[in-house]
């Protein structure tokens, strides 16, 4: 009797345990997010009065000649930024993880050194790399000249053709430690029996990596990709630090984050526009949401996870 | 999750501090209470001058008021200030950008009207023009200073090669070529930060082509266009500057250029009078200046004498009386003298006759007699719409110097942008 009563009563302890997280998360994340989305459906008058305007802001963002070219350029630049991370950061992260997992006495040292830039402040990274690449007194030109490549040097951060890729590579340098550590953790989780068995069967190291280890860490590949995607489409700080809110030269380094900042807060004589800023923020949210949903439904459900 | 814990502990700490404050009313109501007022500003370069010279002079006269100068980085000032005003956390006194940025703050109810402030009668209409409503009914900031554009040069380098100050376009480019032939970096400027190209390039030499105020007002009336010859010529000059700029100028930032010049590694530096303080402190050589060159010898010369800085009062200030006391003092002759001499290169706008101790500042000021004054043409009215004219001028001027836009394309892009929203 007593037993069944206990079962039917509301599991109050669950609510108690969830409450702190739910409350704080709602207060600091959910409510501001919803409020920001709401703001994107309003217009602000010169007397600071808000009035509902439906989808006007979105139509403006996609079609108005003052916003649309900026939006599409920022989106394109953001995809380039993401592509550089996917093609450079994650493969290098995987390579470093594979080297670390192969053992060696000084791997702890390298693990720490390679991860270190990740914990440094973006402002320091931006400042140091600007000094290194400075065409007047940077060390980059001297170092390239020392190995006979001095002619390759250029003011990369100042040229529209190279600025975005340069900034993206600096970001890669900073964050390569994260995919490295995630891949490393996955790789050392693979039991030795599997590789030993493959070895006995006559598989080469190359085969062992690509046919045994890589399929086993595929879930991690997915996680790293989606983390890169989310991080890149939220990126702002490095470009703001190095190129300012105008994301020069000629908006070559303008990504969604800097576009949002300029629109929302204004810049020099340009006044901030909170409702259009919220619209840009809503688009960033939608893009990231789409990316994460694609990952969840197209990748995470299909990829084979093995119990090890 | 760790972020959350940090946040919670911060909040708990904050609430403890707040409750401690609330718990001691006796302490806050002590007799002879000293009121603290805070100044918001973008002039972080002037922090030492404010705290060591200007504020002590004021506090000596008004011992019950304590003033704190709290600057923000120039590029972030507008954004930070707007956010602070909206959130109600801004200081009592607000340093005013010229024209629309401050006008918008006044219209939004963030800046108080200063019509009845004692001391406002010391300023002429031109001085007040940047901080007044379009109908002239309300003035909302006390004008502090203007800056004059021109070129600094390294006198030692000029003497070494027997070169002299250029007066015309032809002389200017001959001078650059002569410096280049001697292996010097003739012209120190970078385009990485973009604003130098527009402010220290375009707005510096341009008034001589478009005829100062005439050209500027013609743009506002709609009789002048950025596709006119005067503007194209200005951009053509900037494009012609390119071969004389330091190597890798595309990635050279403003502080880099300043250092390059003060280290004596460049001969001529296009800029404005605001650099006097820094250059006199850092440069180990003797400095000279010359005004923007004219097209032909004997042409009327124009200088950009830009009303740049003023100070107003936060309408929601808790210490309005003390803030007004400070503003009246800013409007006085005492302040004009103190400020102009503490900050050579920022020229007072009040009618008080002020003599300057600094010879270079005096030379800049002397140009007001020989040339006609104007202000930057993008600041009044024309930067109200989208796309923002000032931002666009930065972008295209930098692009013209970099060679990625032709002067004609630049003029067309600017005029098309303006035509989109501006109907004279």
Alpha helix stretches (DSSP H) within B297-354:
320-330, 333-342
The reported pLDDT for the residue numbered A279 is 95
pLDDT at site A255:
95
Residue A272 forms part of a structural domain: no
Chain A with chain B: Cβ pairs closer than 8 A: 132
pLDDT band at A303 (very low <50, low <70, confident <90, very high): confident
Strands B141-154 and B347-348: antiparallel
Per-residue confidence band for B342, with pLDDT thresholds at 50, 70 and 90: confident
- Rounded to the nearest angstrom, the minimum Cα separation between A133 and chain B is 9
Q: For position B15, what pLDDT does the model report?
A: 47
A250 interfacial to chain B (CB closer than 8 Å): yes
Q: How confident is the model at residue B18 (pLDDT cuts 50, 70, 90)?
A: very low
Least confident range from A248-252, B95-99, B221-225, B284-288: namely A248-252
Q: Enumerate the H helices of A9-106 as residue ranges.
A: 12-25, 31-39, 56-63, 68-84, 90-101
Distance from the Cα of B351 to chain A's closest Cα (Å) equals 28
A212: in domain: yes
Indicate the residue of A133, A244, A251 with minimum beta-carbon distance to B75: A244
From the list B78, B97, B252, the residue facing A136 with the nearest CB is: B252
Determine the Cα–Cα distance for residues B251 and B267; give it in Å rounded to an integer: 19
Tell me the chain B residues in contact with residue A277 when contact means C-beta distances shorter than 8 Å.
none
Task: Choose the mutation target among B109, B250, B388, B394 for the interface with A, i.e. most A CBs under 10 Å.
Answer: B250
Domain-by-domain residue ranges, chain B?
Answer: 34-146+306-367, 148-305+369-421
Contact map slice: A 13-72 vs B, CB within 8 A: 24, 28, 46-48, 65-67
Check pLDDT > 60 for residue A144.
yes
Percentage with pLDDT > 90 across chain B? 53
Mean pLDDT of B330-343: 89
Min Cα–Cα distance to chain B from A70, Å: 11
Buried b (16+ CB within 10 A) or exposed e, B64-97: ebebebebbeebbbbbbbbebbeeeebbbbbbbb
How far is A28 from chain B, CA to nearest CA, in Å? 9
Cβ neighbours for B240, distance < 8 A, ≥ 6 positions apart: B173
Position A46 confidence tier, pLDDT thresholds 50, 70, 90: low
pLDDT: is A132 or B15 the higher one? Answer: A132
Rounded-to-integer distance, Cα B335 and Cα B100, Å: 26
| Backbone phi, psi, residue A282, to 5° | -65, -40
Average pLDDT over residues A64-82: 92
What is the pLDDT, as a whole number, of residue B393? 93
CA-wise closest residue to B85 among B66, B112, B45, B67: B112
- Reported as a pLDDT band with limits 50, 70 and 90, residue A308 is low
Considering only the beta carbons, identify the residue of A48, A158, A245 that sits closest to B251: A158
Q: Name the band, by pLDDT with cuts 50, 70 and 90, for residue B172.
A: very high
- The pLDDT of B160-184, averaged and rounded, is 94
C-alpha dihedral, A34 to A38 to A44 to A49, nearest 10°: -90
Terminal CA-to-CA distance of chain A, rounded, Å?
A: 44
| Spatial distance between the Cα atoms of A67 and B417, rounded to a whole number of angstroms | 12
Q: Using CB atoms, pick whichever of A155, A268, A270 lies closest to residue B250.
A: A155
Q: Which of B301, B294, B306 is nearest to B367 (CA)?
A: B301
Q: Which of B333, B319, B331 is nearest to B114 (CA)?
A: B331
Band (B152; pLDDT cuts 50, 70, 90): very high
pLDDT at B20: 43
Closest among B83, B93, B142, B162 to B339, alpha carbons compared: B142
- What is the overall mean pLDDT for chain B? 87
User: Of B325, B330, B358, B275, which is closest to residue B145 (Cα–Cα)?
Assistant: B330
Residue in chain A closest to B257 (alpha carbons) equals A136
Nearest to B394 among A65, A158, A246 (CB): A246
Tell me the pTM. Answer: 0.77
Q: How confident is the model at residue B23 (pLDDT cuts 50, 70, 90)?
A: very low
Per-residue pLDDT band for A47 (boundaries 50, 70, 90) equals low
Q: Encode pLDDT of B377-413 as tens digits.
A: 888 888 888 788 988 999 999 999 999 999 999 999 9
Q: What share of chain B is helix, strand, coil (3-state, %, to 5)?
A: 50, 15, 35
The distance of B227 to chain A (nearest Cα, Å) reads: 20
Contact between A130 and B253 using a beta-carbon 8 Å cutoff:
yes
Task: Please determine whether the domains at B34-146+306-367 and B148-305+369-421 fall in the same fold group of CATH.
Answer: yes
Across the interface, do B248 and A251 touch by the CB < 8 Å criterion?
no
Name the residue of chain A whose CA is nearest to B81's CA: A265
Do A249 and B387 make contact, defined as CB atoms within 8 angstroms?
no
Going by DSSP bridges, is the β-strand pair B141-154/B268-272 parallel, antiparallel, or unpaired? antiparallel
Q: Which residues of B touch A136 (CB under 8 A)?
A: 246-248, 252, 256, 260
Residue B6 has pLDDT above 80, yes or no: no
Contact flag A265-B194 (C-beta cutoff 8 Å): no
Q: Which one of A241-250, B130-139, B150-159, B373-382 scores highest in mean pLDDT?
A: B150-159
Q: Which of A250, A261, A272 has the CB atom closest to B399's CB atom?
A: A250
Domain count for chain A, please give it.
Answer: 1
Distance (Å) from the C-alpha of residue A192 to the closest C-alpha of chain B? Answer: 34
- A143: domain CATH number is 1.10.3720.10
Q: What is the pLDDT of residues A153-211, one digit of tens each?
A: 888 998 889 999 999 999 999 999 999 999 999 999 999 899 899 989 998 988 999 99
Contact list in A for residue B251 (CB cut-off 8 A) is 133-135, 155-159
* Best residue of A269, A273, A274, A279 to probe chain B, by most B CBs closer than 10 Å: A269
Residues of B whose CB is below 8 A from A251: 395
Tell me the residue range of the domain where A139 lies: 72-253+286-300
Q: Confidence class of residue B207 from pLDDT cuts 50, 70 and 90?
A: very high
Check whether A233 has a pLDDT greater than 90. Answer: yes
Q: Is the ipTM of this complex over 0.85?
A: no
Region B296-316: what's the mean pLDDT?
Answer: 91
Contact (CB, 8 A) for B69 and B55: yes
Interface test with A, best of B11, B83, B85, B248 (most A CBs within 10 A): B248
- The verdict on residue A92 lying in a domain is yes
Residue B199 is predicted with a pLDDT of 92
The third-level CATH classification (topology) of the domain covering B34-146+306-367 is: D-Maltodextrin-Binding Protein; domain 2 (3.40.190)
Asked whether the predicted pLDDT for residue B13 surpasses 70, the reply is: no
Q: Between A65 and B258, name the one with better pLDDT.
A: B258
Q: What was the pLDDT predicted at B22? A: 40
Residue A305 has what pLDDT?
Answer: 72
Chain B residues close to A248, C-beta within 8 Å: 191-194, 395, 398
Nearest CA in chain A to B397: A250
Please, which pLDDT band fits residue A7 given cuts at 50, 70 and 90? low
Asked if B420's CB is within 8 angstroms of A269's CB, the reply is: no
Query: Is A267–B82 a contact, with Cβ atoms under 8 angstroms apart?
Result: no
Least confident of A100-104, A208-212, B27-31, B291-295: B27-31
- Nearest residue to A221 (alpha-carbon basis) of A110, A117, A300: A300
Per-residue pLDDT at B134 exceeds 70: yes
Tell the CATH topology of B148-305+369-421. D-Maltodextrin-Binding Protein; domain 2 (3.40.190)
Q: Is residue A119 part of a domain?
A: yes
A158 contacts B192? CB cut-off 8 A: yes
Average pLDDT over residues A94-108: 87
Would the CB atoms of B78 and A156 count as touching at under 8 Å? no
pLDDT of residue B330: 92
Q: Mean pLDDT, to the nearest integer, of B335-346? A: 88
pLDDT at B28: 41
Instruction: Say yes or no for a CB contact (<8 Å) between B402 and A158.
Output: yes
């Amino acid at each position: 009797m007593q037993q069944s009563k206990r079962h039917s009563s509301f599991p109050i302890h669950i609510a108690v345990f969830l409450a702190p997280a739910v409350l704080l998360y709602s207060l600091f994340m959910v409510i501001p997010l919803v409020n920001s989305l709401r703001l994107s459906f309003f217009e602000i008058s010169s007397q600071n009065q808000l009035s509902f305007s439906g989808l006007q802001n979105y139509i403006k963002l996609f079609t108005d000649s003052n916003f649309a070219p900026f939006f599409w350029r920022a989106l394109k630049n953001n995809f380039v930024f993401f592509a550089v991370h996917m093609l450079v950061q994650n493969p290098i992260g995987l390579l470093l993880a594979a080297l670390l997992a192969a053992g060696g006495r000084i791997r702890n040292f390298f693990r720490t050194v390679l991860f270190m830039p990740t914990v440094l402040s973006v402002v320091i990274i931006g400042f140091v790399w600007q000094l290194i690449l400075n065409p007047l007194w940077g060390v980059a030109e001297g170092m390239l000249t020392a190995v006979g490549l001095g002619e390759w040097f250029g003011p990369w951060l100042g040229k529209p053709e190279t600025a975005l890729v340069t900034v993206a590579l600096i970001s890669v340098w900073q964050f390569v430690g994260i995919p490295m550590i995630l891949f490393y953790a996955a790789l050392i989780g693979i039991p030795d029996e599997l590789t030993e068995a493959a070895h006995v069967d006559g598989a080469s190291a190359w085969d062992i990596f690509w046919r045994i280890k890589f399929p086993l860490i595929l879930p991690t590949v997915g996680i790293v990709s989606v983390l890169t995607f989310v991080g890149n489409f939220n990126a702002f700080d490095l470009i703001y630090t190095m190129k300012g809110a105008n994301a020069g030269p000629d908006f070559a380094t303008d990504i969604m984050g800097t576009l949002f900042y300029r629109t929302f807060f204004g810049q020099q004589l340009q006044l901030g526009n909170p409702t259009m800023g919220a619209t840009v923020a809503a688009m960033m949210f939608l893009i990231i949401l789409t990316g994460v949903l694609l990952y969840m439904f197209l990748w995470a459900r299909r990829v084979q996870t093995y119990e090890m | 999750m760790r972020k959350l814990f940090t946040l919670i502990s911060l909040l708990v700490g904050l609430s403890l501090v707040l409750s401690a404050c609330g718990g001691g009313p006796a302490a806050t109501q002590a007799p002879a209470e000293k009121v603290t007022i805070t100044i918001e500003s973008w002039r972080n370069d002037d922090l030492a001058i404010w705290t060591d010279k200007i504020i002590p002079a004021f506090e000596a006269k008004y011992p019950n008021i304590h003033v704190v100068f709290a600057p923000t980085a120039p590029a972030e000032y507008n954004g930070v200030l707007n956010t602070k005003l909206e959130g109600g956390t801004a200081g009592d006194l607000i340093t005013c950008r010229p024209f629309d940025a401050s006008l918008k703050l006044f219209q939004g109810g963030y800046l108080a009207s200063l019509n009845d402030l004692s001391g406002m009668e010391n300023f002429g209409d031109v001085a007040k023009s940047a901080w007044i409503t379009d109908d002239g009914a309300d003035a909302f900031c006390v004008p502090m200073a203007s800056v004059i554009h021109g070129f600094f040069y390294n006198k030692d380098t000029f003497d070494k090669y027997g070169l002299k100050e250029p007066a015309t376009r032809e002389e200017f480019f001959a001078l650059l070529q002569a410096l280049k032939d001697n292996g010097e970096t003739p012209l120190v400027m970078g385009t990485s930060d973009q604003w130098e190209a527009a402010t220290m390039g375009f707005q510096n030499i341009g008034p001589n082509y478009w005829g100062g105020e005439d050209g500027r007002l013609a743009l506002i009336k709609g009789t002048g266009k950025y596709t006119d010859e005067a503007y194209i010529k200005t951009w053509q000059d900037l494009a012609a500057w390119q071969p004389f700029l330091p190597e890798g100028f595309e990635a050279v930032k403003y502080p880099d250029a300043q250092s390059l010049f003060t280290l004596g590694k460049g001969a001529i530096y296009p800029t404005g009078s605001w650099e006097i303080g820094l250059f006199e402190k850092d440069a180990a050589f003797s400095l000279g200046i010359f005004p923007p060159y004219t097209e032909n010898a004997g042409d009327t010369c124009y200088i950009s004498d830009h009303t740049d800085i003023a100070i107003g009062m936060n309408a929601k200030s808790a210490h309005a009386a003390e803030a007004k006391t400070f503003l009246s003092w800013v409007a006085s002759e005492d302040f004009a003298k103190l400020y102009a001499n503490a900050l050579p290169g920022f020229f007072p706008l009040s009618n008080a006759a002020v003599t300057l101790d600094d010879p270079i500042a005096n030379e800049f000021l002397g140009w007001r007699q020989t040339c006609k004054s104007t202000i930057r043409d993008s600041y009044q009215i024309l930067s109200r719409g989208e796309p923002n004219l000032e931002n666009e001028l930065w972008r295209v001027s930098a692009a013209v110097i970099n060679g990625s836009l032709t002067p004609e394309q630049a003029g067309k892009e600017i005029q098309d942008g303006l035509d989109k929203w501006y109907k004279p």
